[in-house]
Structure 1
Amino acid sequence: MNVYVLLVSFVLIQQSHTMCPRECSCNEMTVACSDQKLKHVPHFLNPRILSLDLSETGIGRLDHGLDFYTHLVHLNISFSKLQSLGENQFANLQVLRDLQLEFNQIEELTIGSFTGLSNLETLNLKGNSIRSIHEQAFAGLESLRLLDMSENELKLISGQVFLPLNSLDTLTLSKNQIQRLEAVTFPRCRVVNLSQNQISRLEANAIVSSKIQELDISDNFLSLMEPSSLSSCEIEKVDVSYNKLVNVPNLEVAPQITDLLLSGNMIRIIESNSLETYESLKNLHLNNMPVLESIKPYSMDSNLNLTYLTLANRNIKRDPDFECKNSNKNIDYSKKLSPIPEGIFMKLEKLRVLDLSRLSWRHLHPGQIPPQIQSLRLGGTELVCSCSLSWLARIDQTKPVLVEGATCDGVSLLQAP
């Protein structure tokens, strides 16, 4: 009897190399069953396949149907009906590198959700209904580099949940409902995206990491950032655009920040000391500021490395690509900014690009332009033709690439009398 069972098993295994469900397309190493009405993971496929596509199916449970496909490197079960990952469903997939689970109906991540995936590098959980993550849910994912959990229903991220992810490079948590961060540790993560959530405050040590280089908290409800809210010794880029900030954040990590995006905040005045601690700043975005009235003299004297500055406004009624989920999305920017003081850029010898588009200024003087400027953007800023603009007309005629969109009285400077 045992010999008979072994013989039948051997025959089935041999046949499985060529068996392909009629709903699927198969070759030696790849099986694609996407956009089919499957209810379960197909059985009797070639157990040595490397790629399995079960996207856009009716699969709602895994039921250990993946246990036999131990050579899988790529697995796609996106746009299906999974409500739970259960426990140990991936335990035998120890060489899997890429797991796509976006746009299912998964509600929570528990202990054992990803057991066995020690070599997984990419995990996509975008567009599910995840509300909670157990602190050990990611245990064992020691090779994971990319994690996308955007468009879920997370409200709170606590402490150590990402601590097991020692190789994580990029984490996307945008478009959730996160309201609070409680000393969240990102051990080695380089890029963190928390945009389009509901965060209103960053308390002391809200984000703890020694490796974060780029942090995006744009389009939240952020009105306060404590000086020690970002504990990262390598952070370079901070995007806090389209929030409710009324002052430039006074951050302990300010001296190392090279890119600061403050667009769309509620800052009324850039004071003479607002930016003095941002000594490494190279790119500064102060565009689309609905209440910004003035930039004080000497406010940029400490920013000697600045190469790019934008003060531009955007006509959002004419720009279909401009979309914010939460903050200031329906504001028609009122062009309140007064002309900047002459000589404000005198020390900024590295400033190459200055964007003054769509401002309400009527006049422009040489002392308002950086000494080594390479690109001056003036599109939509309706200057008045006068002798005081002759210097700008001469530049526009000799170096047309330098001045972009310059007009006075509605015509190009090249055509102005």
Structure 2
Amino acid sequence: MQYLVWLMVAMLWMVQAGADVCPDTCKCSRKSSPEKSEVNCHKRGIRVFPSNLPSDAWILKLGENGITDLKAKALRSVPKIESINLERNAIKSMHPQAFSGAEQLMLLNLYGNHITNLPPKGFQDLLNLRFLMLGQNQISILKPEMFTGMRNLSDLDLPLNALTMLPPSAFKPLIALKVLDLSLNRIERISPKAFTGLRQLMFLNLDNNSVKTIPAGVFKPLRSLEMLVLDNNLVSTLSQSALDGLGSLQELYLRNNDLDHLPPDVFKNMPKLSQLALSGNHLKTVDGNMLARMPDLKRLYLHDNPWLCDCNIISLVRWMGQTEVTLSPRDALKCVSPPELRNKRLSSLQASKLLCRT
């Protein structure tokens, strides 16, 4: 009888101790109310995803190790996990069920690995995931089934990958997405329906890609978008309907592209636009009357364009003399031609003396 009592006590102790188990190379700290463990395995030379983790773990730090793959049900021992940092490992592959059962996970950081492909439905159990960091990998293809089930995802970071195009409905399952970062890829082509389903999106970053053409109406699903960054691309023309649907947009950045003209009223359906950046393009003139019809405009960047100071720039010069919009920087707006006006500031020009040239 005494032996049985001792055995039961030993088994109970083992069950309780299970929450306190910690990988040898890691440091585990525990807090109470409710009881949760933080597991810090950062930069410990770990090659395989650890299995002997405390069952009450809620934060797992595994950055800067040598983990190469994520096997099926890698998180089965930590059902309460809320945050995992796996940045800067050597992960090449993920089993489609690697994250199976991690229904409380809110943050997953896979930045700086060697991932080339996301498994279909690989994140479908992550019903509460809010933040997914996939930057600096080698992902070249996006398909909607890769994001199946992620109905609460708020922030998707995909910079510094190998994307060359955005296919139709690429992000359709992400109905709650608010931030999408696609900068520093090689995106050349965007499907007209690439952003279908992203009705809650507020910030879209396409900086430093190779986009040449913006399809008409491509941004129509983005009814909540407030900031659009298209800097450092190869956009040479904007059609009259290229920016349709951006009724909530407040900031638009088109710096360092190849724009040489703007269609009349291309910004007319953006009544809330307050900041517009067009510096570093090939613009020779901009219609000042178009700018006058932008009621909320507060700041405008127009420097580093080859302004042709003839009669076609009169409306811009007159608008500059009347507007309260901040031109940043105003003194950097200078004529490039004709030769006799080269380097003359636009703000010093007299409209009556600007000639039409054949």
1:203 to 212, 215, 219: 215
Task: Identify which range, 35-44 or 144-153, moves more after superposition.
Answer: 35-44
What are the within-5 Å matches in structure 2 for residues 261-272 of structure 1? 261-272=277-288
In structure 2, what is the equivalent of residue 53 of structure 1?
Answer: 61
3-state secondary structure, aligned to 2:57:
coil
Residue of structure 2 in register with 1:20 after alignment: 22
For residue 275 of structure 1, what is the aligned residue in structure 2?
291
Return the structure number with greater helix share.
2
Partners of 2:209 and 2:124 in 1: how far apart? 29
Once the 2 structures are TM-superposed, how far is the Cα of residue 81 of structure 1 from its aligned partner? Answer: 1.1
**Equivalent AA in structure 1 for residue 239 of structure 2:** E
- Give the distance between the partners of 1:91 and 1:211, measured in 2 at CA: 32
* Alignment RMSD (CA, Å): 3.1
CA contact (8 A) 2:272 2:296 kept: yes
Match of 2:234 among 221, 236, 261: 221
1:248 partner letter: L
Provide the residue aligned with 2:356 in structure 1: none
Deviation, 1:69, is 0.8
Q: Secondary structure at the match of 2:145?
A: coil
Q: Secondary structure at the match of 1:79?
A: coil
TM-score (norm 2): 0.81
Is 2:112–2:137's contact at 8 Å kept on the other side of the alignment?
A: yes
Rounded Cα–Cα distance in structure 1 between residues aligned with 2:82 and 2:141: 28
Within 5 Å, give how 1:204-353 maps onto structure 2: 204-208=216-220, 209-230=222-243, 231-249=245-263, 250-289=266-305, 291-294=306-309, 296-299=313-316, 306-311=324-329, 336=336
The equivalences for 1:12-411 within 5 A come to: 13-28=15-30, 29-63=37-71, 64-183=73-192, 184-185=194-195, 186-208=198-220, 209-230=222-243, 231-249=245-263, 250-289=266-305, 291-294=306-309, 296-299=313-316, 306-311=324-329, 336=336, 360-361=343-344
CA separation in 2, counterparts of 1:299 and 1:365? Answer: 12
Q: Which letter does structure 1 place at the counterpart of 2:308?
A: E
3-state DSSP class of the match of 1:299?
helix
Show the counterpart of 2:33.
Answer: none
Measure, in 2, the Cα distance between the counterparts of 1:366 and 1:198.
Answer: 36
Distance 1:141 1:9, change over 3 A: farther
Cα drift, residue 190 of structure 1: 0.4
* 2:246–2:270 CA contact under 8 A, matched in 1: no
- Classify the secondary structure of the residue corresponding to 1:46: coil
**1:235-279 deviation per Cα after TM superposition (whole angstroms, max 9, x unaligned):** 221101100000135245344422110010110122444535434
Q: Deviations over 1:285-312 (max 9, x none)?
A: 11222x1233823337779875311245
1:61-100 per-position Cα deviation (integer Å, ceiling 9, x unaligned): 1212212111111100110011122212112111111111
Paired with 1:10 and 1:220, the residues of 2 have a C-alpha distance of 63
Structure 2 SS opposite 1:238: strand
Give, in angstroms, the shift of residue 149 of structure 1: 0.3
C-alpha deviation, 1:204, in angstroms: 0.8
Equivalent residue letter for 2:248: E
1:383 alignment counterpart: none
1:163-213 deviation digits (Å, cap 9, x = unpaired): 211211111000001001112223210010000000011121222321111
Contact 2:317/2:346, CA 8 A, preserved across alignment: no
Q: Distance in 1 between matches of 2:95 and 2:330?
A: 51
Structure 2 residue matching 1:27: 3-state secondary structure? strand
Aligned AA for 1:282? Answer: K
Question: Contact conserved, 1:67 with 1:89, CA < 8 A, in 2?
Answer: no
Check the 8 A contact 2:283/2:307 in 1, yes or no. Answer: yes
Alpha carbons of structure 1 residues 9 and 54: separation in structure 2 relative to 1, 3 Å = farther
Is contact 2:257-2:281 (8 Å) kept?
Answer: yes
Report the Cα offset of residue 334 of structure 1: 8.5
